[in-house]
Chain A
Amino acid sequence: MVESKPFEILLAEDNPQDAELVRMALKEHRVDCALRVIPDGAQAITFLDTLDANPKSPALDLLLVDMNLPKRSGEDILKRLRSTEHYARTPVIVMSGLPAEAVEEKATRHAATVYFKKPLTLDEFMQLGSIVRNVLERKTRGAA
């Protein structure tokens, strides 16, 4: 991994316990990032609107989104992301407690990069850090 600016990661997650686990997993796998956590769908969409309207086009390297959020769903956030001017190609990791078959179809439709089912054990949850790392590395290679 090339030493540079930390990755800008947006996490849309209403469950603070899960947000903490994500943070732990990133730390466990030493992902150098600035993690912004937004706890509901509406706020996440407002954030994306502001970001896309910013003439400086601040970086957004990854969206981690829980599908089941208050106010607006993870799917709405995905749709909004894909329609932005500058972030349409941003990688997305979809997370959910639901079985894969219930969510995967929606995730694929909006070109999510990875689907992560929230597991019931600590070790399994920590694997998320490794997944994020891989996605970001692929993105960096693709961009280079």
Chain B
Amino acid sequence: MTAAGAKALTAFVAGGHVENSVIREMVEALPVAIYTTDAEGRLTYFNAAAVKLSGRVPELGTDRWCVTWKIFLPDGTLLPHDQCPMAIALKGAEVPTGIECIAERPDGSRFWFTPCPAVVRDAEGRIIGGINLLMDITDRKNAEIEASEQFRAIIETTPECVKIVAPDGTLLFMNAPGLGMVGASSAEAVIGKNVYDLIAAEDRDRFREFNERICRGEKSSLEFDIVGLTGVRRQMETHAAPLRHVDGTTVQLAITRDITDRKQGDRAALLLTAIVDSSDDAIISKDLNGVITSWNKSAERMFGYTAAEAIGQAVTLLIPPGRLDEEPKILARLRSGERVDHFETIRRRKDGALLELSLTISPVRDAQGAVIGASKIARDISERKLAGRSALLLSAIVDSSDDAIISKDLNGVITSWNESAERMFGYTAAEAIGRPVTMLIPPDRLDEEPKILARLRRGERVDHFETVRRRKDGTLLDISLTISPVRDAQDAVIGASKIARDISESKRVRAALLESEARFRQLADTMPQIVWTARPDGCVDYYNERWYAFTGFSQDAFGDASWEAILHPEDLQKTQENYYAAIKAGQPYNIEYRLMDRAENRWRWFVGRAVPVRDAGGAIVKWFGTCTDIDEQKRVQDDLRRANEDLEQFAFSSTHDLQEPLRSIKIYSELLATRYGDTVNEEAQKFVTFVREGATRMEMLVRDLLTYTQVTKFEPPRETADANEALNNALANLAGAISESGAKISAEPLPSLPVHGTHLQQVFQNLIGNAIKYRSPERQPIVNVGVKRQGAHWEFAVSDNGIGIDPAYKENIFGLFKRLHTSDEYSGTGIGLAICQRIVDRYHGRIWVESESGQGSTFRFTLPV
């Protein structure tokens, strides 16, 4: 019953004072509680529904205004009795309609009701009584409260954010999940504050516009990012509706969902799709009936069917008739949850062409783990089959390499590990792969790895990086690392390959080498010569300190060819040719040249010598060379040569100058003897004879001296001389002496040798001449000429049976003008043996005598072969 209806009824009842029994019965039967009062408020009537509602029977004429119930306002405050709606109405005041109150029954139970009090006036308008009609609203109210509680429960238990936002952005309400999303520890942290502050800067304007739109009465949705109080960014999706607020304004009620994870999932799914689509392998999925359910781009390419053509078709579409029995077996294995790995088979393209494939088929499971289908990766191996052999070879090479070959990804995680790596580091492949490469790095070197990784990420290569790594057993290894970035087909760096060489041994060897080299250098630096070493190709790699002191070059400032810069231009070509010829032939080298002496600013003579140093196998490993300053020696030699030349010139001209007066003496003494010999006395004749003898001896002396000085004029012989011929010439010149003395001369067959024939002849002539001259008066002179080979020399021997030589003098006799006898005993100039000595010396030979007084002599001399 409406409030207006109740009022009309009240008026009707009041007008007849409910005396009409029909009406009374009707009112009594009404399910609405009705009572009446007099002007003082004392109850005059109540119906059965009123008793039922209030839970007591009021006393008529005693109880006032209401049925003496305790009445509360909806907020729970007790309403004073004389202020109950009926009492107020009877005072003539207007009672608002539709108010809701709570009444408490005597038993303590409560109910909700809406009073509809009305006053009854007489004709003059005086209040003569009142009627009140109580509508029981308990059920509705309870339903309302229940709904409200449920709503609260919902918004508090929903995982989504529920919020109410004022048109200006003030946050009026936010539930607990919402507080969690924005990182608020309590409602006070955000309620009453501006919600815009929580929106990510780039989305803030969009959100403000959205909020204002909702508050104008629209319903809408929006995705935006928030940045919570703790700074965490989240992606949100909101569904908002306008809500009429208690103050009459329209606000936004929004249910907002955190879609951060879903977004990431979306991205991951997108990425996965992209990967699947960009894969060169065909990736297909099928259900357990063998019906194709997905089909990537490569599958299109490989088999020639588009995704639209393939999806929904039986996978047997791809199987050549002869291999149809494969599919049931594969499906059976999949159903049992097994995986099929690298199954090599043949499939058919849309155009009928056959393909060699490697299939990897994995069961696909639902969230409960049940197999619901299969994913199938098909790789075209038509080409790989060819490449496979080289891949096998490569892997064999990697495994047989003495170097550890390791690959790792950009996080430093080991992804491959060859056999040498196992040997070198002591970890098996199974132990190493998947572990960080830092397990190999000693703690004090851990900072190396980030640097290496940084370089690799930049695409740089690390070459021959010498460092220390740790074996499984903790021992340290000296290794040399070469690390190269590994790139994918798109040239992006995805990891690194690492070649590690154990250099512990070579380090030891190098250390030993350095030590011996240091010793060598120390030694070399103390040498007065320039000492250098060169590589087998002749490139100089070391000079001692003496070189730098001499040249003024700074160490390492000049390269290998620095010696060329200070070499005398006239000597340069010859020296280079000699040097490189020696290097090429592997032969020792010996050459004289001039180097610029920086200190004296002049050229100095040096003799350069080099010898190859060979290893056990005979290969040249080094050249060792010296430059010896021979400038002084050279200068002395030059001086000596000049002095010799001067002396020769002097001897030559003086012998001629001596000859001039000698000739006059000889010729005029002869003239004197022939023209006046008969006219002078005997004594005068004897004097003339002395003059002539003296002149003759002087002539011999001058002649021999001339011969002696001319021996120094020496050029190497152009051809060999026959010693037999030289001997015969000598004997011819001695023919007179031989026949006069009756000497017997014998000779062995003699060789040819590289000397001037005239020199050999002079030696023979002097020695044989002496043998005859110094013959024993007691026996016939016998002279023998013999020869024997002594290594690189011929040793000649001229033996006689003459008077012999006292051993005391055997060294003296080769000196110039040395004579053992007076000219009365034996004529002679004392030059003959000096000439022999001088000739033999010229050929670097030796001459000596073996003799005893009275026993004959053997003169021996050596000449080159």
| B671 in complex: contacting residue of A15, A18, A122, CB < 8 Å | A122
Given contacts A97-B656, A97-B659, A98-B656, contact A121 B670 (CB under 8 A): yes
Which residues in window 93-125 of A have CB below 8 A to B? 97-98, 118-122, 125
Pair B674/A122 contact, Cβ less than 8 Å: yes
What is the CB-to-nearest-CB distance from A17 to chain B, in angstroms, rounded to a whole number?
4
Pair A97/B663 contact, Cβ less than 8 Å: yes
Contact indicator per residue, chain B 658-669, by CB within 8 Å of chain A (1) or not (0): 011011101110
Residues of B within 8 A of A37 (CB): none
Bound: A122/B666 CA distance, A: 8
Pair A121/B666 contact, Cβ less than 8 Å: yes
Pair A17/B664 contact, Cβ less than 8 Å: yes
Which residues in window 636-672 of B have CB below 8 A to A? 656, 659-660, 662-664, 666-668, 670-671
Bound: A21/B668 CA distance, A: 9
What is the CB-to-nearest-CB distance from B272 to chain A, in angstroms, rounded to a whole number?
111
Residues of A within 8 A of B659 (CB): 97, 120
Residues of A within 8 A of B662 (CB): 120
Pair B667/A125 contact, Cβ less than 8 Å: yes
Pair A120/B663 contact, Cβ less than 8 Å: yes
> Residue of A at shortest CB range from B664?
A17
Bound: A79/B659 CA distance, A: 27
Contact indicator per residue, chain B 809-842, by CB within 8 Å of chain A (1) or not (0): 0000000000000000000000000000000000
Pair A15/B666 contact, Cβ less than 8 Å: no
Residues of B within 8 A of A120 (CB): 659, 662-663, 666-667, 699
Interface residues of B, count at CB 8 A? 13
Residues of B within 8 A of A119 (CB): 663
Question: Which size bracket describes the interface of A in this complex?
Answer: 10 to 19
Contact indicator per residue, chain B 661-689, by CB within 8 Å of chain A (1) or not (0): 01110111011001000000000000000
Indicate the member of A18, A119, A120 with the most B CB atoms within 10 Å: A120
Given contacts A97-B659, A98-B656, A122-B674, contact A15 B664 (CB under 8 A): yes
Pair B667/A21 contact, Cβ less than 8 Å: yes
What is the CB-to-nearest-CB distance from B648 to chain A, in angstroms, rounded to a whole number?
14
| B668 in complex: contacting residue of A15, A17, A98, CB < 8 Å | A17
Residues of B within 8 A of A98 (CB): 656
Bound: A100/B663 CA distance, A: 16
Bound: A41/B667 CA distance, A: 25
> Residue of A at shortest CB range from B666?
A120
Which residues in window 18-40 of A have CB below 8 A to B? 18, 21
| A122 in complex: contacting residue of B660, B670, B699, CB < 8 Å | B670
What is the CB-to-nearest-CB distance from A141 to chain B, in angstroms, rounded to a whole number?
33
Residues of A within 8 A of B670 (CB): 121-122
What is the CB-to-nearest-CB distance from A88 to chain B, in angstroms, rounded to a whole number?
31
Bound: A21/B671 CA distance, A: 11
Bound: A121/B674 CA distance, A: 12
What is the CB-to-nearest-CB distance from B663 to chain A, in angstroms, rounded to a whole number?
5
Bound: A83/B664 CA distance, A: 34
Residues of A within 8 A of B666 (CB): 120-121
Number of A-B residue pairs having CB atoms within 8 Å of each other in the complex: 28
> Residue of B at shortest CB range from A98?
B656
Bound: A15/B666 CA distance, A: 15
Which residues in window 695-740 of B have CB below 8 A to A? 699
Which residues in window 30-75 of A have CB below 8 A to B? none
Pair B667/A121 contact, Cβ less than 8 Å: yes
Given contacts A120-B699, A122-B674, contact A97 B660 (CB under 8 A): yes
Bound: A97/B659 CA distance, A: 8
Residues of A within 8 A of B667 (CB): 17, 21, 120-122, 125
Pair B664/A18 contact, Cβ less than 8 Å: yes
Residues of B within 8 A of A21 (CB): 667
> Residue of A at shortest CB range from B662?
A120
Bound: A6/B656 CA distance, A: 35
What is the CB-to-nearest-CB distance from A76 to chain B, in angstroms, rounded to a whole number?
19
What is the CB-to-nearest-CB distance from B166 to chain A, in angstroms, rounded to a whole number?
138
Which residues in window 114-161 of B have CB below 8 A to A? none
Residues of A within 8 A of B668 (CB): 17
> Residue of B at shortest CB range from A15?
B660
Residues of B within 8 A of A121 (CB): 666-667, 670
> Residue of A at shortest CB range from B668?
A17
What is the CB-to-nearest-CB distance from B658 to chain A, in angstroms, rounded to a whole number?
10
Bound: A118/B663 CA distance, A: 8
What is the CB-to-nearest-CB distance from B670 to chain A, in angstroms, rounded to a whole number?
5
Bound: A120/B670 CA distance, A: 10
Contact indicator per residue, chain B 257-270, by CB within 8 Å of chain A (1) or not (0): 00000000000000
Contact indicator per residue, chain B 537-562, by CB within 8 Å of chain A (1) or not (0): 00000000000000000000000000
Bound: A128/B261 CA distance, A: 140
Residues of B within 8 A of A15 (CB): 660, 664
> Residue of A at shortest CB range from B657?
A97
Residues of B within 8 A of A122 (CB): 667, 670-671, 674
Bound: A98/B660 CA distance, A: 9
> Residue of B at shortest CB range from A16?
B664
Residues of A within 8 A of B664 (CB): 15, 17-18
What is the CB-to-nearest-CB distance from B274 to chain A, in angstroms, rounded to a whole number?
106
> Residue of A at shortest CB range from B673?
A122
Bound: A125/B699 CA distance, A: 17
Residues of A within 8 A of B656 (CB): 97-98
Residues of B within 8 A of A97 (CB): 656, 659-660, 663
Bound: A119/B699 CA distance, A: 12
Bound: A15/B671 CA distance, A: 17
Residues of A within 8 A of B663 (CB): 97, 118-120
What is the CB-to-nearest-CB distance from A28 to chain B, in angstroms, rounded to a whole number?
12
> Residue of B at shortest CB range from A125?
B667
Bound: A97/B671 CA distance, A: 19
Residues of B within 8 A of A17 (CB): 664, 667-668
What is the CB-to-nearest-CB distance from A108 to chain B, in angstroms, rounded to a whole number?
20
Residues of A within 8 A of B660 (CB): 15, 97
Residues of A within 8 A of B671 (CB): 122
Contact indicator per residue, chain A 120-134, by CB within 8 Å of chain B (1) or not (0): 111001000000000
Bound: A15/B662 CA distance, A: 13
Contact indicator per residue, chain B 499-532, by CB within 8 Å of chain A (1) or not (0): 0000000000000000000000000000000000
Bound: A18/B662 CA distance, A: 12
Residues of A within 8 A of B699 (CB): 120
Residues of B within 8 A of A18 (CB): 664
> Residue of A at shortest CB range from B674?
A122
Bound: A97/B670 CA distance, A: 18
What is the CB-to-nearest-CB distance from A102 to chain B, in angstroms, rounded to a whole number?
9
Residues of A within 8 A of B674 (CB): 122
What is the CB-to-nearest-CB distance from B702 to chain A, in angstroms, rounded to a whole number?
10
Bound: A120/B699 CA distance, A: 9
> Residue of B at shortest CB range from A118?
B663
Which residues in window 463-494 of B have CB below 8 A to A? none
Bound: A17/B662 CA distance, A: 11
What is the CB-to-nearest-CB distance from A97 to chain B, in angstroms, rounded to a whole number?
5
Contact indicator per residue, chain A 77-100, by CB within 8 Å of chain B (1) or not (0): 000000000000000000001100
> Residue of A at shortest CB range from B671?
A122
Bound: A18/B670 CA distance, A: 15
What is the CB-to-nearest-CB distance from A99 to chain B, in angstroms, rounded to a whole number?
9
Indicate the member of B656, B662, B667, B668 with the most A CB atoms within 10 Å: B667
Bound: A93/B585 CA distance, A: 61
Bound: A9/B623 CA distance, A: 76
What is the CB-to-nearest-CB distance from B405 to chain A, in angstroms, rounded to a whole number?
85
What is the CB-to-nearest-CB distance from A13 to chain B, in angstroms, rounded to a whole number?
11
Residues of B within 8 A of A125 (CB): 667
Bound: A143/B66 CA distance, A: 202
Contacts A17-B668, A121-B670 aside, 5 further interface pairs with beta carbons under 8 A come to A97-B660, A98-B656, A120-B667, A120-B699, A121-B667
18 contacts across the A-B interface (CB closer than 8 A): A15-B660, A15-B664, A17-B664, A17-B667, A17-B668, A18-B664, A21-B667, A97-B656, A97-B660, A119-B663, A120-B662, A120-B663, A120-B699, A121-B667, A121-B670, A122-B667, A122-B670, A122-B674
A-B pairs with lowest CB-CB distance, top 4: A17-B664, A122-B670, A122-B667, A97-B660
